[in-house]
Amino acid sequence: MKCIKEKCRYYSEHDFYESYFTCKLDTLNHKKVSDKDCLILDIIQDMEDDIINLKEYAKHIKSVQ
């Protein structure tokens, strides 16, 4: 999936004169003219993995009590 730049709510202009933008998802600067892949699916997968781990840990806590 490609970055949609200005249409994305995580996009923010960083340096108008140098033509860079900042993606708030990965907090990196990128040239506005360059195509970049959007990382949102990777971030969602990481969050889902964290939720699974938290649910397993919650089960562990309940079993210890």
Nearest 10 degrees: Cα torsion 37, 39, 44, 50: 140
Per residue in 10-40, pLDDT (tens digit) is 888 777 677 788 888 887 787 777 788 888 9
Per residue in 39-48, pLDDT (tens digit) is 899 999 999 9
Domain hosting residue 31, numbered range = 5-64
The total number of structural domains in the chain stands at 1
| Residue appearing with tokens 């089960």 | 59
Helix (H, G, I), strand (E, B) or coil at 25: coil
Which of 9 and 13 is assigned the larger pLDDT? 9
- Whether 14 contacts 21, CB under 8 Å: yes
